[in-house]
Structure 1
Amino acid sequence: MRRLILAALLATPGMALAQSAPPISVETMKTVTKTLSSDAFEGRAPGSAGEEKTLAYLKTAFAQAGLKPGNKGSWLQDVPLVEITAQNVSPLTFTGGTSPLSLAYGKDMVVGTYRVTPHIDVRNSDVVFAGYGIVAPEKGWNDYAGLDVKGKTVIVLINDPDWQTPGLTGDFGGRAMTYYGRWTYKYEEAARQGAAAVIIVHQTEPAAYGWNVVASSNTGAAHVADAANGHMDDTAAHGWMQLDQAHALFASAGKDFDQLAAAAKVKGFKAVPLGVKASVSFDNQIKKQISHNVVGILPGREAPNEYVLLSAHWDHLGHCTPVNGDGICNGAVDNADGVAALVALAQANAKAGPARRSMVFVALTAEESGLLGSAYYGDNPVYPLSQTVGGANMDALAMYGPARDVIVIGPGKSELDGYLNAALKRQGRTATPEPTPEKGFYYRSDHFSLAKHGVPMVYFETGQNLVRGGLAAGQAAAKDYEEHRYHAPADEYDPNWDWSGVQQDVGLYYMIARDLADGRTWPNWLPGDEFRAIRDKSRAGAGAAK
């Protein structure tokens, strides 16, 4: 159904159409990407010296691009965070089975906490396999039904129960991951259930990344939003374990992992106590800090109190697990080049002159920590979300060269599909629905935080049907990046990159944003979409006509 809607939305009636995008400065994008991803910026971790350098650089870059400070005369929006770094992590042990297991930190498991407390000690906690760890009343699904896990350790699977179902039909949308499949949800639900700890079994295909990504993303400093209760209502510990260790654990408990994992895919699955006990402990180095979103604006000429939002996250992982002696995760593609595109777009729009509506450019913090910067903006918007027309988010623009298509993340959700398709038509390109919807990309970048508040946001990725080499070349390039550079020290600037494909894609963002900013329409989510009611209520509260 969504594909039919996507095909039909070639343009939204009444929207203003910009001419083709002006040339987007490749030199600007190269300079910003090279600078932000250099070792001098130390991987741009929130709260680090790398953040200070990033903020200073972006304020200058935004000003030189022609933006004005966007937060009541300031470039910055404060985002209160707590940095938690696990130290002296003990092995995760399981006792009471046929043979005790001891899982090493980093190699066999990763573990951390959201609790703002100096020490975590989970000791002799009963272990329960809770399937996919999902409670979805609207789907008649409850993996915790009749189960009391207070003080216990739950083992859960990643993704949704029907992630292997061909097509997009099933209890949880078939291959398309829902939010129930994300690791963030697994942690949240285990906490709601009162569990002492939650451990996700890592499997590369349903997780959408290998163990190297899990280890590099979970063995350094973590960030949480500052909270009055110190997140003491969360689980004491959360983390991941390697698949082979899960097989060994279940075997020690006299169970077959593969059989129980298959059973967990069926509605009505009952959680299974494993009859073993888990223990893990670690210290926490805690540092409260204020991180920052960077906000700039191009005021509108006729409707300055209506806003179009463009975003990209500036942060990355900072210092991470060394590979071949390199311990800085520079994040050149993820997401220095997205921020570079944001600066280049600001530059191009400033040069074109004011649009009818205001255009807001936000470089967001703490995306890698769970979309914290965008979530804070959504909860504390600098500009009213009821007056925010819509926008676009840019994350990890790929250096594959020119493509005949773009991959739309979350197609058929909002009327912004029409804006994207109109811009694609002007470039002679097409929209391709995401080939791996099971990876849940819709829930993994900052547009999601705005969508949850009802603001339509378009998000797409570089296409894989390349002009040079076709689909095979594009798929190979995507696989190479994911396996060797994503969230790893190897994501570094390369002077030999082909920027022509990125320039194409940023041109699309220019046309979409300019069409929104010069128009009078208020795009909405399509009827039946999960965010439609939120948007309708928001716009009604602003006194807008439907």
Structure 2
Amino acid sequence: MKKLAILALPLLALAQPAVAFQAEPAQETTMPIDAGAVDVPSQADTETILLDHIRILASDDYLGRKPGTEGGRMTVAYQVEKLKEYGFEPGWNGSFEQEVPFTAAMAPKLTVTAAGTEITSNDLLALQGNTDFADVELVTVASADDVDEGVDGKLLVFNDFSLARSLAQTAVAEGARGAIILAPAAMVEQFRPGATRERVSLKQAGDDAGGPNFIVVGPEAAEKLKTALGGELSGKVSGTYTATGRDFTSSNVIGKLPGSRPEAGAIVMLAHWDHTGECGAPDDEDRICNGAADNASGIAAMLETARRLAQGPQLERDVYILGTTAEEMGLLGARYFAENPPVPLAQIHAALNIDMISIAPEGKPLTVIGWKRTPLDASIEGVAASLGRTVEVGEESDLYVRRQDGWALMNRGVPSVLVSSSFGDKDILDAFMSTRYHRANDEIWEGFELGGAAEDVPVYVALMRHWATEALYSKPEGWAFEDGAGE
């Protein structure tokens, strides 16, 4: 899962507009149909099946599953092999692979010019954006009252990161060029890993070009900037970025399980297969980020759900199984799929995302990322109840909604949710995020927990079968978010 914490980048969270989503009225029909699979494995056997997948995908042989690497290609091949074995058809123009083009650049070096003085510094970090700017006026923001139509085209200066985090969305919506965030030295170091890593975007999308500029300025750079501007952070500044880049390709994996009534549309189940490759300090003994929980576990659950769906009675709607690339780089594989779907998005009635599920033990409630944002809530509650499961939704539903691949489909008119017991216990989730998330120790550790994941798989099977049945569920005609045009 991609995390956007206060001190972790990318800073896209700052640039996203605030969007208020309203749920469409749920359909009244909530009775799920039988899962229908033959020889459904027991809880213990399901844990073993999931662990077998994870042992392979999270092994050192796969090198952290970074897109564009041999480990990434091995991961794609593994999924394709399994989908073929289960009886799926190629889901993308006769192929199981949807090639995704990327462009990558090392984090750009930034030079700021103020009153004719060029300023470079080790604590001057470009967080987002690489488009040069010239003679942009600085405006200091002390409260929400300072953000109005007057910030159009200007670069805002924040002395408080929490203030920047809460107001930058509004400022960009009002046309602000971006923001300069003044930060103490310790905070600069917290930002540095995210601000200096390689940046990847979809090649045809030009993600960085023309985007807002977010800049962290530490004490040394701030002093230089103030001196050049005569002692105050007011006036006009220019910025020049320099970076080296490369192009590469990776692949989404798309398998299709044809339905008996393809005219009824399609549904999608997705999970991201990628992880970060290497992590940690250069001299660390173990630098492979294996990503066992994030997200070899999600791929394992997706594949086992796919196997059971293919093993059972034919569904009405077509089912697409989607293993996305480059989620960790900004939901890029899912975005590419949304922009280049195998069928028109209007024909896709629901999408189920599976991410980072090997955390909670058996017996935890389900939670839903995307709750009250789609017409899927009633069917989720009905299916869960039929399997003796409960649904409890807390703040995580809002906290993570834009941080997972379902968002790429959700805001383009496809009802998308992440359903998982891993997000149902905040203490368990927080413990993982603070100790293993994006670290080399996210591997199969002693006590690696698959109880909740194995218990969730039957829920996924039942949900997919429910959504694939037209009489039980259909997306309301013309359904879209209030601000559904995009991010």
Flag whether TM exceeds 0.5 (same fold): yes
Structure 2 contact 264–316 (Cα < 8 Å) conserved: no
Superposed displacement of residue 12, structure 1: 3.5
| Offset from partner CA, 1:417-462 (integer Å, 9 cap, x none) | 1111112112322211223466x31111111111112111122332
Matched, 1:67 2:98: no
Amino acid at match of 1:225: L
Superposed displacement of residue 312, structure 1: 0.6
Give the corresponding residue for 2:10.
none
Q: Of the candidates 27, 38, 54, which is equivalent to residue 33 of structure 1?
A: 54
Distance 1:458 1:230 in 2: 25
Give the corresponding residue for 2:99.
78
Give the corresponding residue for 2:403.
444
**Unaligned residue ranges in structure 1 (runs of 5+):** 135-140, 164-179, 205-209, 255-272, 466-473, 536-546
Superposed displacement of residue 215, structure 1: 5.0
Structure 2 contact 201–332 (Cα < 8 Å) conserved: yes
Q: How does 1:176-215 map to 2 (within 5 A)?
A: 193-195=176-178, 199=181
Q: Of the candidates 211, 231, 234, which is equivalent to residue 211 of structure 2?
A: 234
Superposed displacement of residue 129, structure 1: 3.9
SS at match of 1:405: coil
Per the alignment, do residues 516 and 337 of structure 1 end up closer, same or farther by CA in structure 2, a change over 3 Å counting?
same
Give the corresponding residue for 2:9.
none
Distance 2:235 2:432 in 1: 39
Amino acid at match of 2:456: D
Q: How does 1:145-160 map to 2 (within 5 A)?
A: 145-147=149-151, 149=153, 152=155, 154-155=157-158
Give the corresponding residue for 1:394.
354
Instruction: State percent identity of aligned pairs.
Output: 24
Q: Of the candidates 517, 524, 531, which is equivalent to residue 481 of structure 2?
A: 531
| Offset from partner CA, 1:291-344 (integer Å, 9 cap, x none) | 211000111123366211000111122223428433332222111111111111
Distance 1:212 1:503 in 2: 39
Give the corresponding residue for 1:58.
79
SS at match of 2:256: strand
Matched, 1:498 2:458: no
Distance 1:311 1:213 in 2: 32
Q: How does 1:463-474 map to 2 (within 5 A)?
A: 474=425
Normalised TM-score (structure 2): 0.77
Distance 2:165 2:190 in 1: 24
Distance 2:375 2:164 in 1: 30
Distance 1:346 1:186 in 2: 42
SS at match of 1:453: coil
Superposed displacement of residue 393, structure 1: 0.6
Distance 2:415 2:207 in 1: 32
Aligned length: 451
Amino acid at match of 1:143: V
Superposed displacement of residue 218, structure 1: 4.4
Per the alignment, do residues 130 and 332 of structure 1 end up closer, same or farther by CA in structure 2, a change over 3 Å counting?
farther
| Offset from partner CA, 1:105-150 (integer Å, 9 cap, x none) | 8xxx5646456xxxx7x89976544569x9xxxxxx9825213545
Q: Of the candidates 392, 413, 434, which is equivalent to residue 483 of structure 1?
A: 434
Normalised TM-score (structure 1): 0.69
Structure 1 contact 187–198 (Cα < 8 Å) conserved: no
Per the alignment, do residues 313 and 306 of structure 1 end up closer, same or farther by CA in structure 2, a change over 3 Å counting?
same
Give the corresponding residue for 1:221.
198
Structure 2 contact 123–221 (Cα < 8 Å) conserved: no
Structure 1 contact 20–426 (Cα < 8 Å) conserved: no
Distance 2:426 2:188 in 1: 21
Give the corresponding residue for 1:540.
none
Q: How does 1:117-196 map to 2 (within 5 A)?
A: 127-130=138-141, 143-147=147-151, 149=153, 152=155, 154-155=157-158, 193-195=176-178
- Using the TM superposition, name which of 299-308 and 391-400 deviates more: 299-308
Give the corresponding residue for 1:435.
395
Q: How does 1:233-252 map to 2 (within 5 A)?
A: 233-235=210-212, 238=214, 245=218
Superposed displacement of residue 32, structure 1: 2.1
Distance 1:12 1:158 in 2: 45
Per the alignment, do residues 417 and 353 of structure 1 end up closer, same or farther by CA in structure 2, a change over 3 Å counting?
same
Distance 1:499 1:211 in 2: 37
Q: C-alpha root-mean-square deviation of aligned residues, in Å?
A: 4.4
Give the corresponding residue for 2:277.
318
Superposed displacement of residue 57, structure 1: 1.7
SS at match of 2:150: coil
Give the corresponding residue for 1:12.
28
Give the corresponding residue for 2:245.
286
Superposed displacement of residue 377, structure 1: 1.1
Give the corresponding residue for 2:461.
510
SS at match of 1:295: strand
Q: Of the candidates 288, 293, 302, which is equivalent to residue 261 of structure 2?
A: 302
SS at match of 2:104: strand
Structure 1 contact 333–398 (Cα < 8 Å) conserved: yes
Per the alignment, do residues 343 and 463 of structure 1 end up closer, same or farther by CA in structure 2, a change over 3 Å counting?
closer
